[in-house]
Structures are given as structure tokens and as C-alpha cells.
Amino acid sequence: MRRRRVMVVDLTTERPTRALYARLMNANLASIMPQVIAVWCEQAGHDVRYVCYTGFEDLANEVLEPADVVFIGAFTQAAHTAYAISSLHRQRGAITVLGGPHARCYPQDATRYFDYVFGFTDRTMVEDLLRDPAPQRPVGLRLTAPRQPESLPGVQERWKFVEATIAKAPVLKLVPMLGSMGCPYTCSFCIDSTVPYQPLGFDQIRSDLRFLLSKMRHPRVGWHDPNFGVRFDDYLGAIEDAVPPGRIDFFAESSLSLLSEPHLQRLAKNGFKVILPGIESWFALGNKAKTGRDVGAEKVRRVADHINMILRYIPYVQTNFVLGLDTDEGAEPFELTKRFVDMAPGAFPVFSLLSAFGRAAPLNLDLQRDGRVLPFPFHFLDASQAMNVVPKNYAWRGFYDKLVDLERYVYSVPRIARRFIANRTTIPKWMNVVRGISSERLGRVSHHARVRRLLESDRSVHRFFHRESSVLPGFYANRVKRDLGTLWDALPVGGMVHDHNAYLRSEASPVA
């Protein structure tokens, strides 16, 4: 096989930045699959250049070096950046391939700008492509493996790419690891809800952890499992076999139903320092919160007790919520969240706005059928900058009033102070302060407040939100242009707009 120059780009962000929080954290958002693809390409005998773009690199120097084949991994919010990079590489003769969440959510759109768009990806697909990387234009080819791979290169094989990425993180250096794919729960808004749960090899976990101990003085591992600990005893057994207590710190996302007190005792003993449980809603999803049929104030009380118990064992807890779900109505969900923040003051709350990412989740088909999906450009689809689903039980102004009021409450100085006091150890105390005042949080609050004002003062914003016009308001168009910077001119014609009902259309006509 001919030896090819392969570039693998992992976009952890969509734009250049100088923000402190991005400096601290973006390199820790690196995905595993781009590193896996880089390993597979090297093992097939190709020259590989891997770049994790964190917003601080010089794009022209790093990402646009000559290549025969370019793989880009991107979340939807980085789609325009990915399209622009792909366009520049194609002009120079490269074949481009898109993978990652955007490729799975919006494959039809991505085929307009990439030669290949990968869904589930395995080694055979990558090797076949590199054997004969024929251009596919004007419309790219969608390829997907029948299922997720049964195994992936571990940390040891990915090490040189891991090392290059964590070198960009000045303080906290998280090594990404994966113990399982998919999730046994079926939260209708989640991309993992339709991927069958599948553990990866426990022997590989053991050998990767031992390898890490030989490479770093005190490693920190971020588990990328959608829901860590479904086979709790197997995972903790593997960790206990390989890691003396306290030698590695672990970060994981896990549902409350898996975080019983005996489990927490074992997690604490084995160095788990950060847990991110999803609470999502006070009126739905009681199974994953282990609150059964309790809703409203009773669920708040039970979950707050549970979170306070977790904080006795795990130093840092982030609680995740989804706002605007169809089960929510009136002021109560927002007021209950404030009450929860008062009852569990040590946890750091993060809010996602209900969003429909293309064909990511089954719920999206219903939302598109009901005409409730708005054509916001991809750039704003990060579950925070824009809510692209018309809420069922709220008028827009009322929704944004409640959202801004909640965020101002939660990220206010008194609440930041209470969080500081309620946490026991130094790093979580200051981490919460930095996050509370960072552009990540306060920037979002002021953005939401601005949108609220525009809903009143800017007719084009009002019409767009109320589905009276699909013309993108100048406020949003200017922001994309500003954020893309030098890449704006490379964004292909038509790249700003997409068919927001493509999922529905493809179901009606499967060849679409």
C-alpha cells in the first residue's frame, strides 16, 4: 500500500480564544477516537500528524500543513470550522473525512463539504479508505460500521498523541480513557441512548493504568464512558488490581442510580475525585436518579440528600440539568433548581438547553415532525448558546426570563461563597470560584440576557425564534463571522445554513 501523509485534527473548540478557562480546560476535552484513528493509520504504515486544536494554536501552521488524507473529529458547534478546514485542504488536493458527533448527527449536510463522512468507525473502514482514497465530489460518501468496535487502542498505543495533548494543559492534565460505549438507559434526548451498552476489555484497563503509573508521577484519568460504572464491580476490580489506592485520580460521568453509598466508599478509596451526575429534570427521568416516581419538591429533597452524601466521599461534584424539557411547565422547575442549589450548596450546577442535534436522538424525529426545530447555525448548537427547540410549555420571553434569573442566582457572589465554604478541599473550592466567574458561566449569563433583550427589541430575532422567518438575525450572523476569524473566508458557500429537518426527510425518503 502507498505510504500516505495523514493529518488527524481533533477540534475541541470552534474558534481561537484567549480565555483563562479555555486555557485550563480545552486540552482536557480531547476526544479518544481521533487518537485511535491516528494509531490505526500509523499501524497501517502511514505518516501521521495529529493536532488537537484547543483555540490557542496557529491554525495555518498546524492544521493546514500539506496532507493526502485529512481526518477531522468535531462536535456540531465546531462544524463551520471543520467545513472551512476541509475546504482549504480539498483546494490543495487532499481527501477529507469527517467523524465524531457532528458526522453522526448531520451526515447529509457534512457530505456537502467532505469526501467521506464516518458514522461508527472501525479499523477496516480506515484501512480501506487509505488504500484507495478516491475523491467523492460534489457529494461525499457516508460510511458506517455495523456497530461500535469491540476494542480500541488503549493509552499505551495512543500515548504519543495523549502526551502531545496534555502538554497543552498548564495545570490539570487529564488522560482520556474509555471503559465502555453506549448506555443501558434510554433518555430520549441523548445520543448514547440508542447505542447498545458494551464494556471494553478489563485487561486492557489494567495494563493501561499500570502503563500510566510508569509514565506520570500522579496521573489523572478522565473516563469518557457516557455512564461510568454500569458494571461497577468489574471496573473497580480492574482499577484495584492495577492501582495502589491514591496513586491515580479519576474523573467520571455517572448516573445517580449507580452512586450508592457502598459504591461511593469504594470510589473514594480508589481515588475518584470528580463525579458528574446527570439530574436533568425534577419531573422526569426518575429511574436514572433513583428517585422512582417522586417528582417536584420531593425529588429535589431526595436528590439534594444524595448529592450531599456524594460530597462526603468525592471532593468535586458537578450536577447536570436540561432546561426546557416537555415535562417542565411554569416557574416551578426553575424555582426547584434554586432550592436544590441551596440544599446542596457544594455541587457546581451546569445547565443545558434542550437541543435537537440532527439525528442524534429518537426524540428529534418527533420534534422535527412537529415543526419545533429552529434553523440555528451549527456554531450555536452547544446546548447553551442557543436552544434550537421551541419549548412546549413556555413562550420564549418567559423562558429566557426564568433562565437568566436562575443563572444569576446560581452564579451569584453569595452562591459562589457558599460553594467555597461547602467544599472541603482546596482545588475544588477554587475550581468552583474560577468556573463561577469565568467566561464559561458569566459569559453565558450575559449572552442569555442579551438574547432576552433582543427578543423584545430586535424584530428579526423575534421572527426567527417564532418561526415567522428563517433569515438568520444579524446578531447571530455577525457572531459566527467574528468567531471564525481568518477561517470565515474559507467557509464554503452555503456552509452557514443546513436543512434542520433532514432527519425527518431522510426517514420519509431513506435514500435522501
Answer yes or no: are the C-beta atoms of 137 and 115 closer than 8 Å: yes
CA quadruple 364, 110, 477, 457: dihedral, nearest 10: -10
98, with CB counted inside 10 A (0-12, 13-18, 19+), is: buried
Helix (H, G, I), strand (E, B) or coil at 17: coil
C-alpha cell at 461: 430575532
Phi, psi of 318 (to 5 degrees): -110, 130
Note whether 288 binds ligand SF4 by CB under 6 A.
yes
Select the span of 17-25, 189-197, 364-372, 428-436 touching ligand SF4 (CB under 6 A): 189-197
From the CB of 388, what's the least distance to ligand SF4, in Å? Answer: 18
C-alpha cell at 388: 434550537
Among 96, 193, 270, 319, binds ligand SF4 (CB under 6 A): 193
From the CB of 162, what's the least distance to ligand SF4, in Å? Answer: 24
Closer residue to ligand SF4 in complex, CB, 108/227:
227
Closer residue to ligand SF4 in complex, CB, 104/452:
104
Among 29, 51, 52, 183, binds ligand SF4 (CB under 6 A): 183
Q: Which residues does residue 25 pair with via DSSP β-bridges, in sequence order?
A: none
Select the span of 85-93, 188-196, 390-398, 477-485 touching ligand SF4 (CB under 6 A): 188-196
Note whether 140 binds ligand SF4 by CB under 6 A.
no
Select the span of 63-71, 185-193, 242-250, 416-424 touching ligand SF4 (CB under 6 A): 185-193
Note whether 451 binds ligand SF4 by CB under 6 A.
no
Residue type at position 149: P
Closer residue to ligand SF4 in complex, CB, 222/377:
222
C-alpha cell at 127: 484501512
User: 316-323 and 272-276: which strand pairing?
Assistant: parallel
Among 85, 169, 187, 284, binds ligand SF4 (CB under 6 A): 187
Q: Is 81 left (phi over 0), alpha (psi -120 to 50) or beta?
A: alpha
Within positions 210 to 229, which residues make up the interface with ligand SF4, using CB under 6 A?
A: 226-227
Closer residue to ligand SF4 in complex, CB, 108/254:
254
C-alpha cell at 128: 480501506
From the CB of 25, what's the least distance to ligand SF4, in Å? Answer: 21
Half-sphere exposure at residue 159, Cβ-oriented, CA atoms within 13 angstroms: 12
Answer yes or no: are the C-beta atoms of 302 and 294 closer than 8 Å: yes
Answer yes or no: are the C-beta atoms of 314 and 268 closer than 8 Å: yes
Note whether 185 binds ligand SF4 by CB under 6 A.
yes
Answer yes or no: are the C-beta atoms of 162 and 175 closer than 8 Å: yes
Note whether 255 binds ligand SF4 by CB under 6 A.
yes
Note whether 423 binds ligand SF4 by CB under 6 A.
no
Residue of 76, 87, 64, 53 lying closest to 7 (CA atoms): 64
Select the span of 61-69, 168-176, 186-194, 496-504 touching ligand SF4 (CB under 6 A): 186-194
Closer residue to ligand SF4 in complex, CB, 10/192:
192
Q: How far apart are CA 258 and CA 381, in angstroms?
A: 30
Select the span of 154-162, 180-188, 347-355, 432-440 touching ligand SF4 (CB under 6 A): 180-188
Note whether 159 binds ligand SF4 by CB under 6 A.
no
Among 192, 326, 328, 483, binds ligand SF4 (CB under 6 A): 192
Residue of 189, 300, 277 lying closest to 229 (CA atoms): 277
Which residues lie near ligand SF4 (CB under 6 A)? 183, 185, 187, 190, 192-193, 226-227, 255, 278, 288
